[in-house]
Chains A and B, each alone.
Chain A
Amino acid sequence: MVVAANSSQTAAGAEGRRPSASARGAYEWTLLVVASLFGIVSVWFVGTIIWQSVSTFQSQGLYLLTGVNWVPGAGTGQPSQYGGRAMIIGTIETSLIAMVIAVVIGTGTALAINFFVPQKMKTFVATVVELLAAVPSVVYGVWGMLVLAPWFLNTIGPFLSSLPGGTAVLGTTVAGKSLLLAGIVLAIMVLPTYVAISREVIGAVPHELVEASLSLGATRWQTLWRTVIPTARIGLFGATSLSLGRAIGETVAVSLVCGGSVGTTFKPLEPGVTIAGWIATQWGEAVGSDQIGALFALGAILMVVSLAMSMFSRRLVAQQRRAAAVV
């Protein structure tokens, strides 16, 4: 958490480094060898996941991305069908719901902590937020399943369905567990992370800027919206992409509240599945069959997406930093 927030700063701050030593002693060699070991582990990591999923990519082809059926063929004499459409769409849908809620509420919270909460309370609130970010995701999942799901079934679900067009757009909930609930649990789960980082980046906005804006006659909100948020946008983007990464890869919390059925409609109030959740719930029966390969293939998709996202956000942040430096 704190680590992640800081690591972006190190990337920017060009700190003084010692002149590189020309001669390598035992110390330098140890560092180099262990670092190479880590490099090898990371290559092994990517390689293993790709390697285990190759056979499924070959047998299923594009069906893995677009197919609707998930039918292991073992014992039936039929070829296995592994379609990942429901998992992929479910992952996108739950993450989107989570990010919309988390970014809107989280940014508001971060602004409030920095500008509205009394100075004395600030450290306390910040500590609480960082502690909450450390609560394991399985706890959020259990709470969502035992507390939120019944409430969703009896109160929220029927209410949303009764809105005009509610059933057509949102569907009806059967057990409370649904993609919408999964999105909300994810939002609650990533909120502390998002707030912890965005509080820091918003707090780092130079006070002169805020004062200049206020002295020009801007209202408090105009200052926040037109000065503070644009100044902090790079950091806010970093917080968003980190939270999105957590939401996409979250496994146990989602699998406890998403309903776990391979659907075709993807209405928010109906049950669904996500990639990571599906891997965890199918794992027990998959071991020893060709379904393992299919789950590895889903894992490979997840890995490629998260790799691409982190590269994209790194590039964008670097670009923005350069642009900011020029101005």
Chain B
Amino acid sequence: MTQITSSSEQITSGEIRAHLRERSAATLRRRIFVSKVMTVFCWAAIVLAAIPLVALLLRLFVKGIPVLLKSGFFTQLPQQPTLFDQTNTGGVSNAIIGTIAMIVYATLASVPIGIIVGIYTAESDSKFASVIRVIASTMVGAPSILMGLFAFGVIVVQLKLGFSILAGSFALSVLMLPVLISSTEIAVRNVPTTLREAGLALGAKPSTTSLRIVLPAATTGIVTGAILAISRAVGETAPILLVIGGAYAITWKPNDPGSALSVSMYQDVSSSYDSLRDQAWGIGLLLVLVIFVLSFAARIWAARKQKVQR
């Protein structure tokens, strides 16, 4: 009885083993095949992702460089081309000044507030601080056009100050605030706790410790965050499009209607003149160059600072 079963078991288990070996070989072949296919897919994905982005940058440079080199692009006021003088587009000096003015005002308003709120959320563990933290991180993801609606509602409707550079900078500063708060909070939190404890142990007041020890240590992160927030605001179009008013004159005054590079680009591209549409590439290139320079500067500066600290 036992013998019979064991012998029959031996036969079947041998068969099973052969069968399993065959099957596992088949599975292995399939697994390797799938793996190869998916590896190819990953490579294809990186190529597919790169093609449009490279094509975009190439086109931007090829079409944009001649515009930037055109005489008067930086210094002249915009001209409306006519049927007889189709290439007469003038320059974008008003938009350059408008963008600089708005960025300066928005930075002056939002950077101090953003940094202070960021320090607060990093240092306080009260309920209110966590509410502020949630609000800031929610606002980081809010659609930027809502800041334009807000600026319209406040500056144009409630305060009756009209479409103006001020309204544009208001929109931009509301846009930058949550970004600044988050980056400052991260920078302050990244300061080792031991530093703070050392300050407190020496008998310094908590406020002195924060201002004299923690903040200097967090400066790199805070400044990098501020530069990135500014570079985000430089290219922002939707919110200022709604409230800036549009003007063909150079003005720094906050209560004048103004122009901005991103808005001019948006308006130029909708024109029926080829020359204006070409000019849009030039403005785009200028924006991209400014933003790249800003973020590179932030990176290099942060890297150098870190090296010094070590």
Which residues of A does B touch, CB under 8 Å?
Answer: 1-4, 6-7, 10-11, 15-18, 20-21, 25-28, 30-32, 34-39, 41-42, 44-45, 48-49, 51-52, 104-109, 111-113, 115-117, 127, 130-132, 134-143, 145-147, 188, 191-192, 195, 219-222, 224-225, 242, 245-246, 248-252, 256, 276, 279-280, 283, 295-296, 299, 302-303, 306-307, 309-311, 314
Known: A35-B129, A276-B145. A136 touches B236 (CB 8 A): yes
A contact residues around B251 at 8 Å (CB): none
Decide: B235 and A139 in contact? CB cutoff 8 A: yes
B300 to A: closest C-beta gap in Å: 11
Question: Given the complex of chains A and B, what is the CA–CA distance between A303 and B139 in angstroms?
Answer: 10
Interface of B is mostly: helix
**Binary per-residue interface labels of chain B (44-60) against chain A in the complex, 1 for a CB within 8 Å, 0 otherwise:** 11101100110111011
Q: Tell me the complex Cα distance, A252–B262, Å.
A: 10
Assess whether B288 is in contact with A192, with CB atoms less than 8 Å apart.
Answer: no
Residue of B nearest to A114 (CB): B42
Sample 8 A-B pairs with CB under 8 A, ordered by A number: A7-B137, A7-B186, A17-B125, A27-B207, A136-B262, A146-B277, A252-B241, A302-B143
Q: Is the beta-carbon distance between A112 and B45 smaller than 8 angstroms?
A: yes
How far apart are the CA atoms of A143 and B287 in the complex, in Å? Answer: 14
B150 to chain A, nearest CB (A): 5
Q: A7-B186, A116-B46 are in contact. List 15 more A-B contacts (CB 8 A).
A: A11-B137, A17-B193, A26-B207, A27-B206, A35-B129, A36-B128, A147-B55, A191-B53, A219-B31, A219-B35, A251-B143, A251-B237, A252-B238, A276-B238, A279-B242
Q: Are A27 and B225 in contact (CB under 8 A)?
A: no
List the interface of chain B (C-beta within 8 A of A).
Answer: 31-32, 34-35, 37-39, 41-46, 48-49, 52-53, 55-57, 59-60, 113, 116-117, 119-121, 123-126, 128-129, 131-132, 134-146, 149-150, 153-154, 157-158, 174, 177, 179, 181-183, 185-186, 189, 193, 196-197, 200, 205-207, 209-211, 225, 228, 231-232, 234-238, 241-242, 262, 265-266, 269-270, 277, 280-281, 284, 287-288, 291-292, 295, 299
